[in-house]
């Protein structure tokens, strides 16, 4: 590792914002923890979940001591871990917020042990609370898994402060031996090429963004503030950012004099911020121009046709019917 | 959620393999925990890491009570959390193995508190061991973070039992307002189209695989055993599978009578297994044929040219030089 790879370092006690960004380098899934005590239900988005033990089957997660949901989770004998699917970002946002009715607008059923079980997830773990341990400003909750359910779908990720999906490692595809089929081998490599090209272009753009001194959070917030002021909650949702990342990114931009918080609680670009936001947009354009420069316009149009057709076919959930065969 | 979405469910005490698959639905990053006590160094791949507290700055992870590295981690006063980057799968495999010299072949330096710090990672957290708590067949190790380092790069993921990378949520790209640039807007949407098409094709293929009753682990193992018998360690590495997933997938295939373990420890397909492996390969071909059916061959060739050029440009780390401008 060369020193130039280091983005920031320090003591967590003196730079909390940078420390949180550093913790965000460890990617996680997203869970919603649910419990019911008497008539009171609690649900909160949590990414500090971890498997703990197989025999006995234990899992753990942690909850802020100051959390309003703490009493329910420490009083109820049971809780459920709902592992969110890739298409449940809105649900994640809802359960990350406070002061709103979370269960009223969410499909759920009571689980075998009484904890609310959310629909559409990729996994549910119904647990008995086994232990509560102290851990600084959080409590560690250990649960014994009584019943598990695994459902189809891809998991939602939270990585580097934003919601994301996982993709197969390109290197894993690189090495899969081709099926022995000379007539279609060419097509298969186009699918692999698609996967690779997509990953490489994202990485190249990320490098450009980083070279411009912008985090993803800042980059996306510039984009969403360009046309109008917005609230923190709106920015989180539109930019697929976690609350802490949205908060910290805004704080950075406020420190920089690029964003101000209005009386109505909405954030707006300053004149200087508007210049930076426009420059950020132009960076995207320049990247595109460079990437496609020198390629034949006919080839680009053909690529657009092919990708558009692939998307339609995949999106419809089925490949085209057999009878269309040549 | 319809019942048909449920793949399996049960009691963890009676079906450990299915329970582990269920736990794999929660995606994680991959860390290597390192410590040194006297002259003895320990390092192990761990994905049970979680942030715990901000004030004081605490993190936690868990270690099997039966782990050979346990004495070093419970005796050393410090440890380091090394958060692996997307290109460190080989390093992850090395530190997941036992009985090999892990530090001899890995670039590392002694950190400020004496724990080995690995190079090329996306983050390092140097910690003082604060607490050791019991948790079934594991111990929970709580550390106080004394120094953090965040480095450039994308994190390695472990999701559904295999190594993976994260990708921006397609829905996040869908909503970014286009820069006001009519002349290049068309190009930008091709990049977005690329991202979408890649994601959608992967999802469509996954659905096909699942409909055929195959897990990703089984699918990849069929592919890698078709030409020759291989050891568990080889299969893990070639198929980008975690040890537990490779183990469990093989056990499933052995139960099914498709794979046998030879005297030399290598796994081989049975006659029945070979038939299944060939059928699995043909499924890939049929998918490709269906996906590209009816598209103009010239368009497909043009797409191949464009994606190939994009990959070369991105792979070279730079877009083509300005002077190539038309």
Q: Do A6 and B138 count as a contact with CB atoms less than 8 A apart?
A: no
Q: Are B131 and B142 in contact (CB under 8 A)?
A: yes
CB-CB under 8 Å, B295 with A309: yes
pLDDT at residue number A164: 95
| Beta carbons of A189 and A232 less than 8 angstroms apart | no
- Separation in Å, CA B267 to CA A86, B220, B224: 35, 14, 10
pLDDT in tens, B35-91: 999 999 999 999 999 999 999 999 999 999 999 999 999 999 999 999 999 999 999
Decide which of A203 and A251 is more confident. A251
- 3-state SS, residue B188: helix
Alpha-helical runs (H) found in chain A: 16-23, 70-75, 89-96, 170-175, 185-211, 216-225, 232-239, 243-255, 271-292, 297-315
> Does A187 contact B292 at a Cβ distance shorter than 8 Å?
yes
pLDDT in tens, B281-305: 888 888 888 888 889 999 999 999 9
Query: Are the Cβ atoms of A169 and B177 closer than 8 angstroms?
Result: no
Using the Cβ of B40 and the Cβ atoms of chain A, whether some distance falls under 8 Å is answered with no
Q: Which residues contact B36 (CB under 8 A, 6 or more apart)?
A: B42, B72, B76, B110, B114, B115, B116
Is A263 in CB contact (< 8 Å) with chain B? Answer: no
Q: Where are the beta strands (DSSP E) in A19-137?
A: 28-29, 31-37, 40-46, 50-53, 58-64, 78-83, 108-110, 116-118, 123-135
Rounded mean pLDDT of B8-17?
93
The span from the CA of A268 to the CA of A230, in Å, is: 7
Separation in Å, CA of B51 to nearest CA in chain A: 6
User: Which stretch of DSSP H or E encloses residue B288?
Assistant: helix B271-292
As a whole-number percent, the residues of chain A with pLDDT over 90 amount to 67
Residue of B133, B166, B6 lying closest to A141 (CA atoms):
B133
Residue of A179 and A92 predicted with greater confidence: A92
* CA-based nearest distance B192→chain A, Å: 9
* Contact in structure between B22 and A59 (CB atoms under 8 Å): no
Identify the CA nearest to A27 among candidates B91, B50, B236: B50
Residue entry with tokens 């977005």 = B192
Beta-carbon contacts of residue B168 (< 8 Å; ≥ 6 apart): A162, A164, A202, A240, B195
Q: What's the pLDDT at A212?
A: 87
Complex ipTM value: 0.88
On chain B, the residues whose CB falls within 8 A of the CB of A149 are: 6, 8-9, 22
Of B112, B114, B94, B111, residue with least CA distance to B103: B94
| Nearest-by-CA chain A residue for B108 | A1
Q: Give the range among A54-63, A175-184, A235-244, B4-13 with minimum mean pLDDT.
A: A175-184
Quick: pLDDT tens for B114-168.
999 999 999 999 999 999 999 999 999 999 999 999 999 999 999 999 999 999 8
Q: How far is B262 from chain A (nearest CA, A)?
A: 23
More confident residue, A121 or B312: A121
- Nearest residue in B to A15, CA atom: B148
The lowest-confidence range among A188-192, A287-291, B235-239, B290-294 is A188-192
Residue B65 in contact with partner chain A when CB distance is under 8 A: no
Residue B160 forms contact with A (CB below 8 Å) = yes
Give the pairing type, strands B28-29 and B157-159: antiparallel
State mean pLDDT over A11-25. Answer: 94
Say how many Å lie between the first and final Cα of chain A, rounded.
Answer: 54
The residue among B238, B224, B321 whose CA lies nearest residue B277 is B224
Torsion A261-A246-A87-A50 (CA) sign: negative
Q: Is any Cβ of chain B less than 8 angstroms from the Cβ of A40?
A: no
**Among partner residues A31, A49, A155, which is closest to B159 by beta-carbon distance?**
A155
Domains of chain B plus CATH, in order, are 28-159 (2.30.110.10), 167-209+294-324 (no CATH)
Say if the Cβ atoms of A170 and B165 lie within 8 Å: yes
| Inter-chain CB proximity B23 and A59 less than 8 Å | yes
- In this predicted structure, what is the pLDDT of residue A246? 94
Most confident of A31-40, A288-297, B184-193, B297-306: A31-40
Residues of A in contact with B159 (CB under 8 A): 29, 155, 157, 166
B177-204 per-position pLDDT tens digit: 444 433 333 444 677 788 888 888 888 8
- The Cα–Cα gap between B68 and A314 comes to 47
Contact between B141 and B62 (Cβ < 8 Å): yes
Q: What pTM value is reported for the model?
A: 0.88
Minimal CA separation from A76 to chain B, in Å: 20
Count of C-beta atoms within a 10 Å radius of residue B189? 14
Higher pLDDT, A181 or A8: A8
Q: Give the pLDDT confidence score for residue B286 in this predicted structure.
A: 87
Whether residues A171 and B240 touch (CB distance < 8 A) is answered with yes
Averaged over B238-251, what is the pLDDT?
Answer: 93
The answer to whether B12 contacts chain A (CB < 8 Å) is yes
Chain B residues in contact with A167 (beta carbon < 8 A): 164-167, 198-199, 202
């Amino acid at each position: 590792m060369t020193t130039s790879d280091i983005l920031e370092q320090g003591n967590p006690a003196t730079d909390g914002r940078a420390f949180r960004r550093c913790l965000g380098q460890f990617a996680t899934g997203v869970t919603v923890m649910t419990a019911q005590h008497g008539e009171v239900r609690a649900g909160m988005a949590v990414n500090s979940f971890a498997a703990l033990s197989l025999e006995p089957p234990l899992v753990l997660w942690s909850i802020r001591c100051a959390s309003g949901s703490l009493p329910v989770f420490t009083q109820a004998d049971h809780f459920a871990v709902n592992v969110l699917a890739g298409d449940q970002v809105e649900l994640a946002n809802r359960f990350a917020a406070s002061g709103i009715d979370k269960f009223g607008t969410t499909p759920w059923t009571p689980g075998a042990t009484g904890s609310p079980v959310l629909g559409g997830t990729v996994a549910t773990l119904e647990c008995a609370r086994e232990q509560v341990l102290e851990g600084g400003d959080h409590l560690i909750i250990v649960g014994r898994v009584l019943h598990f359910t695994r459902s189809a779908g891809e998991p939602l990720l939270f990585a580097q402060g934003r919601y994301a999906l996982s993709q197969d490692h390109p290197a894993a595809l690189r090495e899969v031996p081709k099926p022995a089929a000379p007539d279609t081998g060419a097509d298969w490599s186009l699918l692999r090429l698609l996967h690779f090209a997509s990953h490489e272009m994202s990485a190249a753009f990320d490098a450009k963004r980083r070279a411009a001194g912008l985090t993803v959070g800042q980059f996306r917030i510039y984009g969403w503030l360009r046309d109008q002021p917005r609230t923190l909650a709106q920015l989180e949702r539109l930019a697929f950012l976690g609350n802490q990342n949205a908060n910290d990114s805004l704080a950075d931009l406020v420190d920089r004099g690029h964003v101000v918080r209005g009386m109505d609680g909405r954030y707006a670009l300053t004149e200087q911020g508007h210049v930076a936001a426009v420059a950020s947009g132009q960076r995207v354009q320049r990247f595109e121009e460079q990437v496609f420069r020198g390629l034949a316009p006919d080839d680009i149009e053909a690529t657009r046709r092919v990708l558009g057709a692939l998307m339609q076919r995949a999106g419809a959930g089925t490949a085209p019917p057999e009878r269309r065969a040549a």
